[in-house]
Structure 1
Amino acid sequence: MSSKGAEFRKTDLQIHSPRDRSWEGEHPETLTEELSPSGIETVREAFCCSFIEKCIAEGLQAIAVTDHHEGVYAYKVIDTLRKLQAENGPVDLWVFPGMELTCRDSCQALIIFDSLLPEPLFGKARAKLNLPTDVRPHEAQGIQVELLNYDVEELQALLEEDDELRGRFIILPHVKPNGHKTVLRTGFHKRFKELPYVGGYMDQCYPHELEDGDRRILNGEIPAWSSEKRGVISTSDARHADFRLIGEHATWIKLASPTAESIRQAMLAPDSRILYDEPNLPSVVINSMTVRGSRYLENGIYSFNQQMTSVIGGRGAGKSTLLECIRFALGCSAIDDTKSPSSATTRLRKILEETLDSQNGEIVLEVLLNGTPLRITRRMNNKDMIKVEAEGTEEISTVEDIRRLIPTQQYRQGELSDLAHEDAEKRLLDLVTGQAAQRLGNIEGDLKKNSQALSESLAKAVRLSAARQARAHAETQLKILRAQIENLNKKLNLEVQFSTSAVSDHEKYLRQESALASARDFVERSKALVERNFREIMRESDKITNNQPIFTELPELQKAFESLKISPYSEGAKLEDSFSRILSLFERQLYQLSIAEKEWKPFQLKHQKDYEEQKNSLAGKQTIIENIEDLRNREQVTLEQLETATREENELRDTDTHLNKLRQERSTLEKELSTIASEQIAKIKADSSGLACGRLALEPDLTEVKESLRKGLDLPKLRQQRLDTILSEIRKADDKSAKWTEIQDEMLNLLMWKVGAPAERGKPPETPILQSALEDAFMEKLREKITLENVSVMLTAIVRPRAEIFHMRNGNPIEFRKASQGEQAATLLNILMNQSNGPLIIDQPEEDLDNKIINAIIQTIRKTKSERQLILATHNANITVNGDSENVIEMVLGKQKSGGAIDEPDVRTAITETMEGGKDAFELRRKKYNF
């Protein structure tokens, strides 16, 4: 269950050993005086170790040692590599034994054997070619090269007639134009066309360096030479003691195993399997999935190729379940899709719940994200949280976090066809804009944060409005209360004269008591505020200066960050010193207040005693005094209300500005959504390979607006018709977002009016759009029932973009929903294949497609694989075989029966026996599989 199939490997398949008669530099044998067989073997092994180290240093992953007509050193390198692996662990290097052959028609060819071909069989091949039996292996140089007694085209049949050699070698003639003993030479076109070989090699040269005519011959574009494209590898032809050319003119070949057959596959699919520059591979790759606690799907590891993996098998084999498990780990499974009414989604949800044990069920994905390995773990007993391990750290993330972290696109069986329905417009837009999913995801994240901040800011704005009204109301009440107290005091003083009256001075004592309490409250709040803010400054300072600067050799940069640090030995120490002095000031103030309170308490108690005695002595004046006391109590309460309202107003004084800023920010994000959607829609023609075009719809998506109106105007007996009237005002407007903002403004003004003046509201604000739709009766109800929640839900709703997609039929655009299911699926598949938004996971993409369309999409698949990983469950053999799937997973009754590249015999058998059109698909590549 661990094979990943075919992967690109950096190769150099023509390297010579010191036994080559054209070797340049010292021979290992000259480095020892001990010329016994054991002494020679020792120095050769040392040479091979150095040789292997050089290959690894050059990043080579597959090499062939190809001496002329022999393989002495080839097997010495293989044996040395085996010893190194036994001592030090695995080495990612395949070594192929090979020979460079010179035929009697003056044509050269490489013959490359399986890496694991036993040495006796190599000798058998030499015997079939009538090469000398004794190669004098202990001599420094190899045997003198004589021409083979065969023409180059005879070699294949000669070796293939041997049962032990058949299928274990590949012959690659020299195809470098004007090269030494090449088959690409004047007058050779008829023989070249009839050569039984699927590829060739050229040393120290790349195909793109050839003249146009020679390139066209190799590409099969000149029928006189050939109508079939030949796979061509470039090699170093290295033969120097200092290894100077090893790895020069390397070729990246997509290989599944260290076999000649795997090289043959590359020759037959050169466009997707042979490169001359380092491959550009997908940046996001799911490497493997580990299943634990499963009742149906086999527990274990399922490996995926970084390019294309096909999951095949009969009905009920477990293909869809396997894909659904991948989606589960990524937070995109049927379990997470609670809104879809699709019966397929419901069925997969049930399958997943029945497959993974509710307590022990667990899926682990190994993911490569821009070169960083991640491990994603999700358990059935805690589905809301997903564990992410990376770089030695562990973090618990939400489902939404994982969706943003690992961009993917996934479609279940039949889901692509559903996107053409009118109720799937948003999902269709999501598909079309998939290339910008990361940017759109960031905007959606910003909108979510903005929504929360806007709701909080609105609540504060309502508090600010209420505080302003409370302050104004308290100020008015104080004026009235103090006027009454003053009048009653005058009346009391006229009727009763005191030289020193505790009664007449009582108000002064009350004011002093209040001022002393306010002073303590002010100092304590100020001290707490400074402490809180300084702690925040300290945290921010540590965060900004941590491990900074990076470039310590820049003195001014060093000084800048040093000045920001708050420590005893930095410039920031002055800030800490100032903070300490401020705290000391507050402490002294509180200490002084404590002393003053101790002084004040007996003074105030004496006054209170005198006041009670004098008050009791004023017979007949009790009513006036009681009224004054009552008014003074009310004055004190009102003063406290004024202080609270003033403090609240001061704390919230910037709220209106902040609310407007958040609304403007939301408007900007809304416009960015439309801009990105417009950019992506403009690419539809190219992304669909000309099958479709599109534009941003004049009428946007008002789904959010409609829902917010329903919630915001939740009034008894209010009919949908009145809400539709408001929506029609938006639709009629040239700037629909601006019109929606006007409606939001009306609701906001109405809320502020209601909250801001509960007792004396006066005339309500103008709301022309709402008034025209609701009329007087419902407007009156709205003024009474409007709440913070009503307005909040409306302020956070936005006008979203909507796409109009057209299928191109014979050059004419038709509405996408009116195209046939096959046309729709072909268009959507092409768009998906031409995007590079992380792994693409599709269950049976061939549904609704005929073979003609599938064959066209196969061309897109081949191009797509370098941009994004494909994981497809399919019944169609053409997709797997002619799409050149790098890895195939055969599922049978929930278990992986076979796996690997389509080079593997078991995989080929599975394709022909279980897939629709298996033999027909292979017939298209008849040479490849020898049918």
Structure 2
Amino acid sequence: MDTNTLFQNGSVWLRTDFHLHTRADKEFTYTGEENDFVNQYVNKLVEQNIRVGVITNHNKFDAGEYKAIVKKGRKEDIYVLPGVELSVNDGANGVHTLVVFDPNQWLADGNDYINQFITTNFIGKHNYENENGRSNHSLKETLLQLDKLNKNFFVIMAHVEQNSGLLNEFDGGRIIDLANDPLFRKSVIGFQKMRTNDLKNNLYTWLENKVPCFVEGSDPKSIDDIGKGEACFLKIGDFNFEAVKFALIDSIDRCSKESNHNPANSHIKSIAFQGGLLDGKQIYFSPELNNLIGIRGSGKSSILEIVRYALNIPFGSQAVDKDYKDDLIKHVLKSGGKAIVEIVDRHGILYKVERIYGQKEDIYKNDILQQGITLDAILQQPIYFGQKDLSSKNADFENDLVNKLIGSRLNNVQTRIEKQKTEIQRIINELKSFGNLSLLKKETETAKANAEYRLNLFKEKGVAEKLQLQTSFESDTNRLQNFKAGVDAYLNDLQGIIQNHEYSLNKELESKTNPEIFEEAKILASKLKTTIIQIKAIYSDVQKTEIGFTLVIDKLKAKKEELKEEFARIKREINIPELNPDDFIKINRELDTSKLKLIEIEKSESKRVELERLLNEAVNALDNLWYEKFNLLKAEVNKINEVGGKLFI
């Protein structure tokens, strides 16, 4: 059977009917064309979306009819198993038992062991091929007889609550007795048409919670009846007897009454290769668990690393042998090699990611390149562990593991934490720039008091007024020189802008491949060139202003020079041994400097107080963000732990 397309991405959920009758059954009515029965039958299965069926006629099996239905069903991707609805000699009315056979064993090499089995159950009986015919053996004896034949089979108890159903014919004591029979436990893996909750509860008690799978079957009496009633779905990965049996045994995960089992998670659908060692190869993945099995060096890690590379998934802080893993990609893809990954987001939308080795990935939706988006917009951050990564026991391994499992859920709060830490560092650095303001203020106040005291001596001797003129000239000269220093700094900054950027902004922009786009770029570049011209004009004006300030200062110095003799005469007239007239100018300068410094200290003190307030608020905000992250982390870890799996954090 060609099931490449149906199962190429692993197991799928398929509607299954475990109780089908056909024209070979005496209870089944068919009035159509003689040669059209098989076509109509299979077409009805298709219409009802039944992909797995079991033919279970009453005490009868028609091998020719079965093979015809199988052949037609194969063309429609429908798998049909052989079976029989056997009325075993038990209970008041007989117990209807659906026996399902492995066709590869019971119909092997042209043999029909199914009819041989049926015949041995009705030795000495006539007209038993109907729902009222009862075999020669009880349920336990029938299971023992089947087991002795050493061929694969399983049993479904038919319409268990109705006439000739197990729960209608047997009381609780008989059910408990069956539960203690290992052969019953092994063989009976399904109950059909289980409806009543009270009976279900009793069944869980009688069978000690080890209850077979509850399945459905339409039990049709005509083609129109096929698929009527409740449905059931099995999750299987191939059309074979073992897959169906395994799904019934693993009923919690593989048997359901629900029809919609589309994966809610985003997943990788396939990866294909162009060029390199795997040129032309394509690998399909299940939306659930995938296992790559092969000997050492067969390429398992290479596939994993190429998937990681194509989807641009980062290694993680604790990844082992990063260079080796990167070399695997290079070795397999080689120069120009391409990986094409099909991914499905959690909304079921298909995307195609193409990445040529050494280049950025391209994302397509409906074969249209998606501009300006990254895979983060499509996939929740995939969790990646490469070769040896899970065996790493570095100090930060657990941290890295938690971040990979739930890190994306913490991205928002972590971004805010980092921003807040940066703000705190900025405030601390600014506070450090103020140094010890209290000590500086005390030293400056002492220097100011000393200067005032010494100047007071000049006042007491009546010489302060005589020396004030020269002091005023000194102060004026200092003010002008300080301002000119600012002009010089401004001039240097302008010159730096011109020197650092004029050359790069005057480069020519030309492209033969994209001339239209480059025309737009040239218009923008032209605007930037204009700003450089404007800055150079400003620089020229500031140069002229700087020269002007130099001339003004020179004028003041010249005026002071003209009064040089006057200043000298005043100093000669002051003939007081303990006072040096030259000190007067120096002390005045110290006093002015101290006053200015105290003003700046007061401003800095106010700023420091404000910064300390901001620092306290910022630290409290960071503390709250850490607490928020802790609660998020705790909630996500609890979700993982509540699953009850082997992973516990």
Helix, strand or coil for the counterpart of 1:308? coil
* 2:270 is the alignment partner of 1:288: yes
Q: How does 1:765-780 map to 2 (within 5 A)?
A: 771=608
- Give the equivalent residue in structure 1 for 2:99: 111
Asked if the contact 1:75–1:97 (Cα under 8 Å) also holds between the matched residues in 2, the reply is no
Q: Residue type matched to 2:253 in 1?
A: S
* 2:297 is the alignment partner of 1:321: no
- Give the equivalent residue in structure 1 for 2:445: none
CA distance in structure 2 between the partners assigned to 1:207 and 1:323 by the alignment: 49
* 2:135 is the alignment partner of 1:148: yes
| CA shift for structure 1 position 124 | 1.7
| CA shift for structure 1 position 369 | 4.7
* 2:330 is the alignment partner of 1:353: yes
- Give the equivalent residue in structure 2 for 1:468: none
TM-score, scaled to structure 1: 0.42
* 2:369 is the alignment partner of 1:384: no
Taking structure 1 as reference, are residues 723 and 101 closer, same or farther at Cα in structure 2, changes over 3 Å only? farther
Structure 2 residue runs of 5 or longer lacking an equivalent are: 436-492, 495-538, 543-598, 613-617
- Give the equivalent residue in structure 1 for 2:61: 71
Taking structure 1 as reference, are residues 255 and 377 closer, same or farther at Cα in structure 2, changes over 3 Å only? same
Number of matched residues? 460
Helix, strand or coil for the counterpart of 1:149? coil
- Give the equivalent residue in structure 2 for 1:191: 178
| CA shift for structure 1 position 156 | 4.5
Taking structure 1 as reference, are residues 806 and 360 closer, same or farther at Cα in structure 2, changes over 3 Å only? closer
Asked if the contact 2:16–2:52 (Cα under 8 Å) also holds between the matched residues in 1, the reply is yes
2:233 pairs with one of 239, 249, 252: 252
| CA shift for structure 1 position 61 | 1.9
- Give the equivalent residue in structure 2 for 1:172: 156
Asked if the contact 1:203–1:237 (Cα under 8 Å) also holds between the matched residues in 2, the reply is no
Asked if the contact 2:294–2:300 (Cα under 8 Å) also holds between the matched residues in 1, the reply is yes
* 2:24 is the alignment partner of 1:27: no
Identity in percent: 16
CA distance in structure 2 between the partners assigned to 1:409 and 1:772 by the alignment: 47
Helix, strand or coil for the counterpart of 1:254? strand
| CA shift for structure 1 position 96 | 1.8
| CA shift for structure 1 position 14 | 0.6
CA distance in structure 1 between the partners assigned to 2:149 and 2:263 by the alignment: 42
CA distance in structure 2 between the partners assigned to 1:300 and 1:803 by the alignment: 50
* 2:286 is the alignment partner of 1:305: yes
CA distance in structure 2 between the partners assigned to 1:769 and 1:326 by the alignment: 58
CA distance in structure 2 between the partners assigned to 1:723 and 1:311 by the alignment: 60
- Give the equivalent residue in structure 1 for 2:20: 15
- Give the equivalent residue in structure 1 for 2:432: 722
Asked if the contact 1:8–1:253 (Cα under 8 Å) also holds between the matched residues in 2, the reply is yes
- Give the equivalent residue in structure 1 for 2:369: 395
* 2:411 is the alignment partner of 1:703: no
- Give the equivalent residue in structure 2 for 1:240: 222
- Give the equivalent residue in structure 2 for 1:214: 203
| CA shift for structure 1 position 300 | 2.1
Greater relative CO, 1 or 2 (CA 8 Å, sep 6+): 1
| CA shift for structure 1 position 323 | 2.3
1:54 pairs with one of 44, 51, 71: 44
* 2:572 is the alignment partner of 1:857: no
- Give the equivalent residue in structure 1 for 2:115: 126
| CA shift for structure 1 position 395 | 0.9
Taking structure 1 as reference, are residues 768 and 253 closer, same or farther at Cα in structure 2, changes over 3 Å only? farther
Asked if the contact 1:203–1:235 (Cα under 8 Å) also holds between the matched residues in 2, the reply is yes
What does the per-residue CA deviation read over 1:583-604, in whole Å, with 9 as the maximum and x for residues that have no partner?
A: xxxxxxxxxxxxxxxxxxxxxx
Helix, strand or coil for the counterpart of 2:55? strand
| CA shift for structure 1 position 11 | 0.9
Q: How does 1:773-852 map to 2 (within 5 A)?
A: 801-802=625-626, 831=639
1:405 pairs with one of 351, 362, 378: 378
Asked if the contact 1:201–1:235 (Cα under 8 Å) also holds between the matched residues in 2, the reply is no
Taking structure 1 as reference, are residues 800 and 321 closer, same or farther at Cα in structure 2, changes over 3 Å only? farther
- Give the equivalent residue in structure 2 for 1:364: 341
Task: Tell me which structure has the larger Cα radius of gyration.
Answer: 2
Helix, strand or coil for the counterpart of 1:350? helix
Q: Residue type matched to 2:48 in 1?
A: E
CA distance in structure 1 between the partners assigned to 2:603 and 2:403 by the alignment: 38
CA distance in structure 1 between the partners assigned to 2:238 and 2:189 by the alignment: 20
| CA shift for structure 1 position 316 | 4.7
CA distance in structure 1 between the partners assigned to 2:141 and 2:433 by the alignment: 85
TM-score, scaled to structure 2: 0.58
* 2:94 is the alignment partner of 1:94: no
Q: Residue type matched to 1:153 in 2?
A: K
What does the per-residue CA deviation read over 1:443-482, in whole Å, with 9 as the maximum and x for residues that have no partner?
A: xxxxxxxxxxxxxxxxxxxxxxxxxxxxxxxxxxxxxxxx
Taking structure 1 as reference, are residues 834 and 98 closer, same or farther at Cα in structure 2, changes over 3 Å only? same
* 2:90 is the alignment partner of 1:80: no
Q: How does 1:545-564 map to 2 (within 5 A)?
A: none
Helix, strand or coil for the counterpart of 2:253? helix
| CA shift for structure 1 position 55 | 2.2
- Give the equivalent residue in structure 2 for 1:870: none
What does the per-residue CA deviation read over 1:475-498, in whole Å, with 9 as the maximum and x for residues that have no partner?
A: xxxxxxxxxxxxxxxxxxxxxxxx
Taking structure 1 as reference, are residues 424 and 17 closer, same or farther at Cα in structure 2, changes over 3 Å only? closer
What does the per-residue CA deviation read over 1:724-781, in whole Å, with 9 as the maximum and x for residues that have no partner?
A: 99xxxxxxxxxxxxxxxxxxxxxxxxxxxx99xx99xxx9997878656999xxxxxx
CA distance in structure 1 between the partners assigned to 2:192 and 2:375 by the alignment: 48
Asked if the contact 1:11–1:252 (Cα under 8 Å) also holds between the matched residues in 2, the reply is yes
What does the per-residue CA deviation read over 1:278-303, in whole Å, with 9 as the maximum and x for residues that have no partner?
A: 244423232222234344x7962222
CA distance in structure 2 between the partners assigned to 1:417 and 1:293 by the alignment: 33
CA distance in structure 2 between the partners assigned to 1:832 and 1:288 by the alignment: 28
Q: Residue type matched to 1:171 in 2?
A: V
Q: Residue type matched to 2:68 in 1?
A: K
- Give the equivalent residue in structure 2 for 1:266: 247
Q: How does 1:470-509 map to 2 (within 5 A)?
A: none
| CA shift for structure 1 position 322 | 2.4
Structure 1 residue runs of 5 or longer lacking an equivalent are: 33-39, 86-90, 222-227, 441-672, 678-699, 726-753, 776-793, 808-814, 817-826, 836-855, 861-931
CA distance in structure 2 between the partners assigned to 1:768 and 1:236 by the alignment: 89
